[in-house]
Amino acid sequence: MNKVLLLFITLICISKVGAQSSAFAVADSLYRVGNYSKAIEAYKKLENSSYANTQIAKAYKALGNSKKAIENYEKVLDRDSLNMLVLYEYGKLLFSVGKLKKSLTIFEKLKLKDTLNPNFHYQVGLAKEALQQEDFIQSYKTAFQLDSQHQKSIYKLIRNSLQFQKFEKTATYIKVGLDNNSDDLKIIGYNAQLFYAQKKYRKALMWFEKLIDRKKATKYVYEKSAYCAYRIGKILKSIAYYEEALKLEDGNYFYHSQLAKLYYQDGIIEKAEHHASQAIIAKMTDPSGDYYILGLVHFDRKEHGKAIKLFKMALEENPEYEAAQFQLALCTDNYYSDLKEKLKMYERFNEKFPKAKIEMRTIINTRIRELKSEIHLKGE
């Protein structure tokens, strides 16, 4: 009789375990295919286990409900405070919702349990950096020392060394990062920034263009590429990149201003005029450079009256604009017939800019002598 009863109880237990396993399989299947709300319902019907609560927490996190995810992770940790997998996910979630001190405490605890895990050191670094603790960089260094393939730590170390202009260290970290993954777009971008900071514009452009070729260029990449191209004499390429940057931020006065100068330099006067005008409309601060470009455009067209007005507007915005004062003198010379008026403008330039560029002073002083001679001969 006892044997029969024991067999009966055993069969019931096996049946319950089988049913429970089947129910877990259904819940797990719902979770795996992304049906998170249904998965949560299924897990809640099961016995209140650490596994079920962990899965519920993960499902809530996937749904974007961080509060309920945290609550369920805490239920697990109430039973098993040393569960490293749960602590790790819990710590990351706390960090993501801005509970930085609590997150740091969790990762410091994990770090003590496994000092050789680079990711624990990295997470400590993230929390310390967000809390503006001065020693945060050491955590990233430790993560890198433990695993030289830890790219996220390498990003942080590169950025920090770039910020403090430690270019040799930056180059070392970049080399390791590229050895790990030569297609890493962040490292490629950092390498471009390094060469840019070192004023190695040709190399910087080459690396910025790797991002452009991969269709991963931002406004910043186009802007810096344009400047690099300009610095190495590739005017048309510089124009093309500023135009691309402008597409990403229509109305940016700086891009319009740069394009005005470049188009004028390349002899494309109509576009220079257009971009200088747009820069003046968009600019909230000193538009003197754009008035100057417009003045040059009208000067080239021999519209000297308009050019004079624009050079004067440039000088109103920036009285120390040497080039505008110089062009105003030349324009006045071409526009007015009164010799004394012409002379007055040249002498005004010398008064304001006694240490002007030698090329300008040579032209100015030559015309002053010529005008004085003409005035003397005419007996004015």
pLDDT in tens, the chain (380 residues): 455 545 444 444 444 444 456 766 777 888 889 999 998 888 888 877 888 899 999 999 999 999 999 999 999 999 999 999 999 999 999 999 999 999 999 999 999 999 999 999 999 999 999 999 999 999 999 999 999 999 999 999 999 999 999 999 999 999 999 999 999 999 999 999 999 999 999 999 999 999 999 999 999 999 999 999 999 999 999 999 999 999 998 888 899 999 999 999 999 999 999 999 998 887 656 788 999 999 999 999 999 999 999 999 999 999 999 999 999 999 999 998 889 988 999 999 999 999 998 999 999 999 999 988 888 887 65
Residue 126 lies in a domain: no
Residue 360 lies in a domain: no
Residue 232 lies in a domain: yes
Residue 299 lies in a domain: no
- Residue 197: give the domain boundaries: 158-241
Q: What is the model's pLDDT at position 16?
A: 47
Instruction: Please state the domain count of the chain.
Output: 1
Q: What is the model's pLDDT at position 327?
A: 94
CATH, residue 211:
1.25.40.10
Residue 82 lies in a domain: no
* CA–CA gap between residue 145 and residue 221 (Å, rounded): 31
* CA–CA gap between residue 293 and residue 278 (Å, rounded): 12
Residue where the block lists tokens 């499902």: 59
Handedness of CA 342, 344, 348, 350 (dihedral sign): positive
Q: What is the model's pLDDT at position 20?
A: 53
Residue 319 lies in a domain: no
Q: What is the largest CA-CA distance in the chain?
A: 145
Q: Which two tokens stand for residue 170?
A: 């930056």
Q: What is the model's pLDDT at position 287?
A: 87
Q: What is the model's pLDDT at position 42?
A: 86
Question: Taking the CB of residue 266, how many other CB atoms lie within 10 A of it?
Answer: 14
Residue 261 lies in a domain: no
Q: What is the model's pLDDT at position 47?
A: 75
Q: Does this model's pTM top 0.85?
A: no
Residue 183 lies in a domain: yes
